[in-house]
Structure 1
Amino acid sequence: MASVHSTTYELLRQQGIDTVFGNPGSNELPFLKDFPQDFRYVLALQEAVVVGIADGYAQASRKPAFINLHSAAGTGNAMGALSNAWNSHSPLIVTAGQQTRAMIGVEALLTNVDATNLPRPLVKWSYEPASAAEVPHAVSRAIHMASMAPRGPVYLSVPYDDWDKEADPQSHHLFHRNVSSAVRVNDEELERLASALSSASNPVIVLGPDVDAANANADCVTLAERLKAPVWVAPSAPRCPFPTRHPCFRGLLPAGIAAVSQLLEGHDLVLVLGAPVFRYHQYDPGQYLMPGTRLVSVTCDPLEAARAPMGDAIVADIGVMASALAARVRDRNHPLPASIAETETVEQGEGALRPETVFDTLNEMAPADAIYLNESTSTTALMWQRLNMRNPGSYYFCAAGGLGFAMPAAVGVQLAEPGRQVIAVIGDGSANYSISALWTAAQYNIPAIFVIMNNGTYGALRWFAGVLEAENVPGLDVPGIDFCSLAKGYGVHALKAGTVQELQGALTEALASKEPVLIEVSTTSPAK
């Protein structure tokens, strides 16, 4: 009879999963013993970093990522990273070792008490198998639950003595199962929406991250060009669904109610595709939309559809819907919107570099298909304005605003996309949340470039302090951190840049390298 251990690895193998992201404890050792040679184990030094690497890998590869954490303590450490994965619809299979079944009841040390409730509400499904024989079935269910729309993280707690037990002899039926969840609305409703878009006098499109996740970017370009419609990206979007130099592109919507309403005023029909309606942030009260404006959203997530405060909603596969709408809308007899792609030239004086200068230099020197990860939150708007992001999968951001995402996610994205250059742009405050990701990059020789924007302060927090009239508060500055020394301590080559010439030289060296590189750039805070 096959063991639960061998059966589970064969199940993962047959389902196309050959990488385990983890940070093990004693409860996890029985799962990891006799680790198969055709599998890869990616070690990180802290659990939030583990989840961040796996999150980046899952998003960039568009495949589920398998994670192994240490009981309750490791799960707790990972919760902040799980919040980003939940909001970005990342298909993560999070497993955690549980104490042996004989000692769960007495709550021996390393027991995950009430294990299934611990990660909620940040997972789609959470389970602890009732018996050892059920473990392969639970793993199979986790794979399919994570992969079905809307994709998202799931959680599985497994007692460590289960792995040596006999598996259900019929577990082989799980090996080649496929579960399809593509949803398309009926032709009548599809034609009704296409007709409404075609006949609108001034339609506008708002695109979200699920467009990029579905690789539907090109269909959305066709849709916008046929409608001659301006295209906004949804507030706080964690991915880039539309080319930022296209004439229809208008930029990233702000995350305030009144601000969104003002920018969409005058449009009689708003199509929101692949995004919540809307993910607001700062309190900016006002009308959701001005009178006379109709909104229709298409989302893969029933929860997003249900909680929207306005408009009609359709739950469907984003890729299928983008393609169908692009094929059905009429080519409106209007000119394309006037391009706003030209950016204002800024004067770079003596002293620290302006963020605009850094982004202009990156845009000039990076490969055309470069992938950017952003956790310099105070410069997010400038990044969208000044970087030419033209390909699918070109941009990733922390979907729930949880800092510590970009540095490990850059490692995971580079693992998934070895043929493209990954560049993570990270604030000096943000970098400290997950600096140990550099160790994983060095140990596995993952050639991502980490650009640290060092201005000695939490820039986004300083901006918010002004908005909230709470400027006289402690804890906003983070001076005295030498990121080059930290990087070298983790085994990563590091360079400092205080001038444009030094930044150009550092980027030239980093882009030619076949190893991870950190570039610490002295920057000013963005102008308000």
Structure 2
Amino acid sequence: MHTVRDAVREFLRAQDMTTVFGNPGSTELGFLQQWPEDFQYVHALEEGVAVAMADGYTQITGLPALVNLHSAAGLGNAMGSIITAHHNRAPIVLLAGQQARPLLPHDPFLANLDPAGLGGDYLKWTCQPARAQDVPEALARAVQIATQPPHGPVLVSVPADDWNEPTAPVGDRFRPAPCAPNPAALQSLVDALGRSAHTAFVVGAAVDQDGAVPTLVSLVDRLGPDVWAAPMSHRCSFPENHPRFAGHLPASPGPLTAALAGYDLVVVLGAPAFTYHVHSPAQQALPPLFVLSDDPAVLSRTPAGSIGIHTSPALGIAGLITSTAPRKKLPAPPRRSTTPSPAPGSGGITAAQVLATLAELLPDNAVIVEEVPGHRSDMHRYLPITSLHAGFLSTGSGVLGYSVSAAVGAALAAPFRPVVALVGDGSLMYRPQALWNAVQQRTPIAIIVLDNGGYGALHTMAHDAQAQGVPGLDIAGVDFVRLAQSMGCHAITVADFRWLRSAVTAALDADAPVLVHVDMESCRQPLRTLHRE
């Protein structure tokens, strides 16, 4: 008898989705039993870790990934990572267990009472098939939707008694083709570029996800615009050591409009226009704006007067290369210093020194998975990302607990690329279980913990907002070395700048995960003083 379980596994093989991330529960036993030898089950100790690992995995491979969750309990535990997967455009298929069909009318224990609604708008599509026989077809549709630009997470809820039911095989499916720009719309942009004397490109994560960074570099060399990174972009979509790179746009209307004030044309590629974090009045109107995106939701919320072009970044950029003539080279935008000095008169360590040391030591093909929101400006200044493919991953949602889990997933996807998880002390404690996964999966990632004794970004924001007496901003009493060692991960503490380089080098050269706890004691007192003022 050909069962639902047989049909699902056959389809997953055909889709190259045999690496499954998950945390098992009772309602998934029918799917997990007699686990095939050609499938890999990446067991997480917590569901959010499973989803974040899958997120990092898909960011590198570009392929959909399957995550097995336990009914409403697993989906609820994973919601923070699902929100990140939504903003990261990660093609993740969530296969969630559900109680047996005869029990569902009675609201049984461990049921998902609302499988279609629990994930809300953060899921592109949800389905609990009406019949067991429909499960393979629902999964096939889920993969199609997850991989249709803009990519994103989907959910299929499967009752526990469906897996042994008979069904027919489901055929393999081709992934959706990318959309090309409308020729007339593209020509309007070409004409605007021909008239422009000072153009800015604003590039976002979708350019890198589409594998279009090398093509974008060719277009920039051809036309000579200044290139800005979009606010809050979770990937690097243009090499930051390129002479046309102008910097990172602030996520606030006032300073953003000021940064773009000198241009007569702005072209936004693979990003919203724009993602803001802090409100401030716009200082002036934006220049004429073109937005190229494969996301209709992004195009629908572009500023009034702008022109949206529905296209994949790769095809849009390629179309511009074939339709534009090379232009005279313009002076490069000013560059900022990238070489900090050690703290004078002290052996202590600052975040800038850690980031500059990484910049010197990392090979060109390294992947940095970042979660140090309190040190983002230092990272932009001292750790330029120069890779042309997935050299930088972060959380597009701001939900903490991403870095180490996603780094494990990235290392599984790219075992021959060095992977660094750059994480704050507060961020690490959201999902420390990922350290166990790093060990169990034998992923040789370097985990660099910048410990400033609290939530540094919140300290800064509280100070800027003149919010005094805010509780819960400091963290004390966590022994990060012992925490890592308890999960089998080698770990060391560095509190003196003189030993930083050797510690980071050892972590990068290791064949197993290593946690380097950077005790930035010199940074702690200023933060706490700031908090009290």
* Shorter-chain TM-score range: over 0.9
CA distance in 2, matches of 1:32, 1:288: 58
- Alignment partner, residue 427 of structure 2: 430
Deviations 1:482-506 (A, max 9, x none): 1111000011000111122321111
Matched, 1:465 2:459: no
Matched, 1:203 2:206: no
Amino acid in the other structure paired with 1:25: G
Q: Which one of 285, 305, 317 corresponds to residue 281 of structure 2?
A: 285
TM-score normalised by structure 2 residue count: 0.95
Residue range with higher mean Cα deviation, 55-64 or 376-385: 376-385
**1:246-265 equivalent positions in 2, closer than 5 A:** 246-265=242-261
**1:98-497 equivalent positions in 2, closer than 5 A:** 98-167=98-167, 169=168, 171-172=169-170, 174=171, 176-287=172-283, 289-290=285-286, 293-310=287-304, 311-340=306-335, 342-343=337-338, 345-349=340-344, 350-391=346-387, 392-497=389-494
Amino acid in the other structure paired with 2:386: R
CA distance in 1, matches of 2:415, 2:494: 26
Residue range with higher mean Cα deviation, 467-476 or 71-80: 467-476
**DSSP 3-state at the match of 2:228:** strand
CA distance in 2, matches of 1:346, 1:329: 44
Aligned-pair CA distance for 1:199:
2.2
- Alignment partner, residue 95 of structure 2: 95
CA distance in 2, matches of 1:418, 1:282: 38
Residue range with higher mean Cα deviation, 57-66 or 464-473: 464-473
Q: Is the 8 A contact 2:20 2:41 kept in 1?
A: yes
- Alignment partner, residue 3 of structure 1: 3
Aligned-pair CA distance for 1:135:
0.3
- 4+ residue segments displaced more than 6 Å: 525-528
Deviations 1:298-352 (A, max 9, x none): 1111011112233221111111111221332221223241451542533423143
Aligned-pair CA distance for 1:287:
4.7
Deviations 1:151-192 (A, max 9, x none): 10001100010000001x2x34x2x22132311123232222
CA distance in 2, matches of 1:287, 1:86: 31
Aligned-pair CA distance for 1:288:
6.6
**DSSP 3-state at the match of 2:78:** helix
TM-score normalised by structure 1 residue count: 0.96
Gaps of 5+ in 1: none
Gaps of 5+ in 2: none
Amino acid in the other structure paired with 1:308: T
CA distance in 2, matches of 1:427, 1:477: 13
Q: Is the 8 A contact 2:342 2:497 kept in 1?
A: no
Amino acid in the other structure paired with 1:9: R
- Alignment partner, residue 61 of structure 1: 61
Amino acid in the other structure paired with 2:324: V
CA RMSD after TM alignment: 1.5
CA distance in 2, matches of 1:369, 1:11: 33
Q: Is the 8 A contact 2:261 2:284 kept in 1?
A: no
**DSSP 3-state at the match of 1:117:** coil
Q: Is the 8 A contact 1:149 1:181 kept in 2?
A: no
Amino acid in the other structure paired with 1:266: G
**DSSP 3-state at the match of 1:13:** helix
Amino acid in the other structure paired with 1:372: I
Aligned-pair CA distance for 1:447:
0.9
CA distance in 1, matches of 2:468, 2:315: 48
**DSSP 3-state at the match of 1:425:** strand
Deviations 1:201-232 (A, max 9, x none): 11100000000100111111122222211100
Q: Is the 8 A contact 2:340 2:356 kept in 1?
A: no
Q: Is the 8 A contact 2:202 2:267 kept in 1?
A: yes
CA distance in 2, matches of 1:111, 1:283: 41
Q: Is the 8 A contact 1:142 1:156 kept in 2?
A: yes
Q: Is the 8 A contact 1:374 1:380 kept in 2?
A: no
Aligned-pair CA distance for 1:95:
1.1
Aligned-pair CA distance for 1:277:
0.9
Aligned-pair CA distance for 1:467:
2.1
Q: Is the 8 A contact 1:496 1:521 kept in 2?
A: yes
Amino acid in the other structure paired with 1:203: T
Q: Is the 8 A contact 1:59 1:90 kept in 2?
A: yes
Aligned-pair CA distance for 1:378:
1.0
